[in-house]
């Protein structure tokens, strides 16, 4: 997947922040290695995984040794097998040792998000439902994890509070109801800003549709309720399911005819992929 200038800047900033956090005033242990010692290392995965995060991985090493070379044998989105070699790195030994943990942290975390997303996408395969992410990302890694969701075959929701409007229960109460909340949202939004409203009952869905809603979040609806909502809406708006969705339930939800399924666990409930970097 192409990385534009804006994302490239975020990647560099992520790498610098991670290295700064880890190094502090300096890597004491790497001083055990003589200065200017060349090194060669390789990275393998200990488990099957969808690989993601090459650019973040590279940025960590390049920040400390701009002249190091990294040869990748897989692309982002590749399904790696157990013990498959992912890449080889050649460069200054001290730099490689210092950057190792930060680089692997990015690769194992983003691969975990891509792998989990892919599992959900496969579970919903053959239906019209899109697997969507949320804002429940690890602090400081929102763009990285949203990149990983796309690598895993999922779709991104709004990036943050600035590029989309999601009217939830508390917004509705504070604004005086569904209709006034939507009216104000439509006045605020431009052509590039999505407006979505959350509903909890069929009556609220009906009110939202009558008020012009075109994107509706069904919060914790039952399967029967989702089917009723899909039939009642009759394509007047896109419907999104949310709340308590897991790999055991996502298929049945997708088969209700829902358009979108948002899953916070794609980015918040992940288990890092087991990777290993070894010097030779």
- Catalytically active residues are 101, 136, 168, 198, 219
- Would you tell me how many other CB atoms lie within 10 Å of the CB of residue 21? 10
User: How far is Cα 116 from Cα 123, in angstroms, rounded to an integer?
Assistant: 11
Phi, psi of 70 (to 5 degrees): -125, 120
Of 175, 239, 177, 236, give the one whose Cα is nearest residue 209. Answer: 236
Quick one: three-class SS letters along 38-82? EEEEEEEECCCEECCCHHHHHHHHHHHCCCCEEEECCCCCCEECC
The DSSP call for residue 155 is: B
50 touches 151 (CB < 8 A): yes
| Helix, strand counts (H, E) of the chain | 10, 12
The DSSP call for residue 88 is: E
218 touches 241 (CB < 8 A): yes
Of 120, 89, 136, give the one whose Cα is nearest residue 269. Answer: 136
């Amino acid at each position: 997947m192409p990385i534009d200038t804006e994302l490239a800047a975020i990647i560099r900033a992520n790498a610098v922040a991670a290295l700064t956090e880890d190094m502090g005033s300096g890597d004491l242990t790497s001083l055990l290695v003589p200065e200017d010692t060349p090194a060669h290392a390789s990275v393998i995965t200990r488990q099957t995984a969808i690989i993601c995060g090459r650019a973040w991985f590279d940025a960590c090493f390049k920040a400390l040794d701009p002249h190091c070379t990294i040869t990748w044998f897989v692309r982002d989105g590749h399904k790696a097998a157990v013990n498959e070699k992912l890449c080889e790195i050649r460069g200054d030994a001290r730099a490689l040792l210092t950057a190792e943990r930060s680089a692997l942290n990015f690769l194992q975390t983003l691969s975990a998000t891509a792998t989990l997303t892919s599992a959900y996408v496969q579970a919903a395969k053959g239906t019209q439902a899109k697997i969507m992410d949320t804002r429940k990302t690890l602090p400081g890694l929102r763009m990285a994890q949203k990149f990983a969701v796309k690598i895993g075959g999922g779709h991104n929701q709004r990036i943050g509070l600035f590029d989309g409007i999601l009217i939830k229960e508390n917004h509705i109460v504070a604004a005086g109801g569904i209709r006034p909340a939507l009216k104000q949202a439509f006045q605020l939004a431009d052509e590039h800003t999505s407006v979505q409203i959350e509903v909890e009952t069929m009556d609220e869905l009906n009110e939202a549709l009558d008020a012009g809603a075109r994107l509706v979040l069904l919060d914790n609806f039952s399967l029967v309720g989702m089917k009723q909502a899909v039939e009642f809406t009759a394509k007047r708006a896109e419907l999104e399911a949310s709340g308590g969705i897991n790999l055991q339930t996502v298929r049945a939800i997708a088969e209700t005819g829902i358009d979108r399924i948002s899953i916070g666990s794609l980015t918040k409930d992940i288990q890092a992929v087991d990777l290993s970097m070894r010097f030779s």
